Structure 1
Amino acid sequence: MLFRRPIGRACVRPIFAPTTAVRGFQSVYHVESPIIDDSKLENRILGRAYNKFVPTHGFTKQSVDLAIADLQLRPENLGGLFGIGLQVSDVVNELIMYHLKHTRANLSRYHDEAGKLATEGAKVRFYMQKRLLDNVPIIKYYHQALGRMILPTNLGIFLTELHNLSDDITYYSGDKSNDFAWYSKRFALSSVFVQSELFMLGDTTPDYSATISFMNDRVSDIDTLGYAHIVQDEDLLLEKEPIIPTITVDHHIHTQNTYFIAVPELLRPIYDALLQIAPSKMVSSIRVSFPELEEQDEAEEFDDDEQLYKSSKAVLAQQDSKTIELHQTTLNNQNINFLLVPVFRSKLIYNLFASTLFQHFAISKLLCFATSELSGLHTLNKLVSQNYRLPEKPLLLKQVPDMQPPNFITGAAGALVSHANIYNVEVAAIAVSAEGAFQLDMEKFDISGLVDLAVIVDDYLGLKGDYVQIVKELAKVKKASSGSNALYI
């Protein structure tokens, strides 16, 4: 029931109409059970909170409290039904899930209009547009919802609802696939929808026309995806739970420093040059491991599918088992912690890593770097939180253009910036223009962008040395190994 227990796999489902059907990988098995049971008192309260108070008070417990009062209910009489008084995060998560299910249910209102469209692709765009525009009444506070959705404890249940949305849209649009294409289309559409929502947060165009254009362009890229076969489909057919890594922190030297700099692996020359020019000491190490696989009994017998699953996951775990060193240096009488974030093939690890970092360290200020497919001729863009305090002295960073839609960041920097927003931490991200910036192992950028970033870092940290030249020399080594004028990861 609502508010009764910590958020988890079954926390929200009982509030809404139960479903006994399983969404199989054939469209003929599409689930058509009611999405929200409006007869339940819990949903009446959530509905009143969502429609009347979230647009002005956001996704907060206050919105639910106001809804209870507006319905002339007495909270003290609802304790047995709701479990009033439990963690606020549970209440907020219930309200967020109501938004997702309510807007998904709204899609059924547009079937007649969608039926007049000729192609499956046109219908997908139509339903996607309707769903995105349903965010408009609460867009002012939607960053609160997105911030909570990506928390590791919440990620599973919200991802399930995201894929349910993609399933509904593809089915309503006329998808009849009954093979690997079932997964290909839905996972691709989920990715497009998430990107479009992130784009929407910064869209200032009338009627969010830029967001709709952004979404249409990306849907066009997957129009023929139903005929594609993706490697990950075999894992999906095995219907196994993802293997979640364990992330541990080992403090070698206790530090109270709260200023952090995070550099992704692709921009390693920025990190290595900092190690060379600024004397530092390692204060902590962060280890990503997979105990579930490491402790597996080698003599244990599996059937063929189970063995295939374990083998593939063991390879992935071996690649993603890494130790990250946290170094500390002193620059201009200020202690700074800095670290290099490696590439993880499992994107889930970036969120788990960011969550661990913010939980174990009292971070008050974060500077991180990223790659992004920047539009225009810019080599750099910056993304700065409203509470980020820049020094009053002239800085080259202030001249870096602000990131605007359709540009965005993902990966390690995306996870860190999102968590900084949740923890109300000052954060600034500088993105270097890169081709294929969102495709693992396919990123490429011109060395001039890396040098521009080095100039900004040198000026911002007041290094006053050979930092930029060291970055250039390190970049030449990487360029020589790649055999071109560009850097690859």
Structure 2
Amino acid sequence: MPDTADRLLDAALAHVAFDGWSETTFRAAVTDAEVDPTVARALFPRGAVDLAAAYHRRGDAEMVTRLAAADLSEMRFRDRVAFAVRTRIEAADDREAVRRGTALFALPLYAGDGAKLIWGTSDAIWTALGDTSRDVNWYTKRMTLSAVYSSVVLYWLGDDSTGHDATWSFLDRRIEDVMRFEKFKAGVRQNRLLSTMLAGPMKVMERVRAPERRDDLPGGSAPRT
């Protein structure tokens, strides 16, 4: 049986297409779900903004579940990343809710929240794929994937091709860009001249470590226990 937060979110989705992630939607969800307004506000202090964030995190959770059930052993690593991004987008079963959320988190007031959510998605993908990096690569992987995911979502929102084939082709091209960047980083480390020139900055970066808790950075999920 859905808990109170899930009931509110499900009720809100019926109104988002018409009223966006707004106070009107929040109040309608409270009424439809028959939840005490005080309880609803305690669960979602900022109303529909927090509901929109919860909807995004629900998609992340669904993606993780689907990835755990999928057999990725025969895939090249680049294909695993592409599959994970596609799985995350397909987990968003309401494109209009995503569209409205994208518009909401593009507003200056909520841009920070949007960045945190995208970072959280990227972290969830890399973690699900078994990323073990603990140095500066932990950050660069998530930064580059955040940019890829954001651009693919925007493309998907405007894609009317059959089966969203155009989106998946665009995704493949963007993943290729990520792979080139990873190869470039490896090339810098292997190039004697560049390694010498960048010895100072690289020495500093060697001291960078991944956070001990995922909520140490924007987009972090629950603290590790």
TM-score above 0.5: yes
What amino acid is aligned across from residue 61 of structure 1 in structure 2?
E
SS at match of 1:59: coil
Whether 1:158 aligns to 2:114 is yes
Aligned length: 191
What amino acid is aligned across from residue 59 of structure 1 in structure 2?
W
SS at match of 2:60: helix
**Match of residue 130, structure 1, among 87, 90, 94:** 87
Whether 1:42 aligns to 2:38 is no
Identity, in percent, stands at: 20
Gaps of 5+ in 1: 1-37, 240-489
Deviation, structure 1 residue 140:
3.1
Distance 1:170 1:53, change over 3 A: same
Aligned mates of 1:164, 1:120 — CA distance in 2: 20
Deviation, structure 1 residue 149:
1.1
- The equivalent residue for 2:104 is 148
Question: Which 10-residue stretch deviates more, 176-185 or 102-111?
Answer: 176-185
Deviation, structure 1 residue 56:
5.4
Is the Cα–Cα contact under 8 Å of residues 22 and 48 in structure 2 kept in the other structure?
yes
- The equivalent residue for 1:64 is 26
Aligned mates of 1:200, 1:153 — CA distance in 2: 25
Deviation, structure 1 residue 207:
1.9
Q: TM-score normalized by structure 2?
A: 0.70
SS at match of 1:204: coil
Distance 1:57 1:154, change over 3 A: closer
- The equivalent residue for 1:82 is 41
**Match of residue 96, structure 1, among 39, 52, 62:** 52
Aligned mates of 1:178, 1:238 — CA distance in 2: 6
Deviation, structure 1 residue 193:
0.7
**Match of residue 211, structure 1, among 144, 160, 167:** 167
- The equivalent residue for 2:192 is none
Is the Cα–Cα contact under 8 Å of residues 134 and 209 in structure 2 kept in the other structure?
no
1:316-350 Cα shifts (integer Å, max 9, x gaps):
xxxxxxxxxxxxxxxxxxxxxxxxxxxxxxxxxxx
Deviation, structure 1 residue 96:
1.5
Q: Give runs of aligned pairs for residues 332-411 of structure 1, distance below 5 A.
A: none
What amino acid is aligned across from residue 109 of structure 2 in structure 1?
T
1:229-275 Cα shifts (integer Å, max 9, x gaps):
797994x9499xxxxxxxxxxxxxxxxxxxxxxxxxxxxxxxxxxxx
Whether 1:179 aligns to 2:135 is yes
Deviation, structure 1 residue 105:
0.5
Aligned mates of 2:40, 2:22 — CA distance in 1: 20
Q: Which has the larger radius of gyration?
A: 1
Aligned mates of 1:146, 1:119 — CA distance in 2: 31
Is the Cα–Cα contact under 8 Å of residues 120 and 175 in structure 1 kept in the other structure?
no
Greater than 6 Å deviation, 4+ residue runs: 229-233
1:458-482 Cα shifts (integer Å, max 9, x gaps):
xxxxxxxxxxxxxxxxxxxxxxxxx
Is the Cα–Cα contact under 8 Å of residues 181 and 225 in structure 1 kept in the other structure?
no
**Match of residue 112, structure 1, among 63, 66, 69:** 69
Is the Cα–Cα contact under 8 Å of residues 104 and 131 in structure 1 kept in the other structure?
yes
SS at match of 2:70: helix
Gaps of 5+ in 2: 189-200, 211-225
Aligned mates of 1:210, 1:143 — CA distance in 2: 18
Distance 1:204 1:80, change over 3 A: closer
Structure of higher RCO (CA pairs closer than 8 Å, 6+ residues apart):
2
1:264-312 Cα shifts (integer Å, max 9, x gaps):
xxxxxxxxxxxxxxxxxxxxxxxxxxxxxxxxxxxxxxxxxxxxxxxxx
Deviation, structure 1 residue 183:
1.6
What amino acid is aligned across from residue 37 of structure 2 in structure 1?
L
Is the Cα–Cα contact under 8 Å of residues 163 and 186 in structure 1 kept in the other structure?
yes
Is the Cα–Cα contact under 8 Å of residues 135 and 208 in structure 2 kept in the other structure?
no
Deviation, structure 1 residue 120:
2.2
Deviation, structure 1 residue 135:
3.6
Is the Cα–Cα contact under 8 Å of residues 41 and 47 in structure 2 kept in the other structure?
no
SS at match of 1:222: helix
1:391-421 Cα shifts (integer Å, max 9, x gaps):
xxxxxxxxxxxxxxxxxxxxxxxxxxxxxxx
Is the Cα–Cα contact under 8 Å of residues 8 and 29 in structure 2 kept in the other structure?
yes
Deviation, structure 1 residue 187:
0.6
Aligned mates of 2:98, 2:119 — CA distance in 1: 19
Is the Cα–Cα contact under 8 Å of residues 47 and 98 in structure 1 kept in the other structure?
no
Deviation, structure 1 residue 145:
1.8
Aligned mates of 1:155, 1:47 — CA distance in 2: 24
1:15-38 Cα shifts (integer Å, max 9, x gaps):
xxxxxxxxxxxxxxxxxxxxxxx6
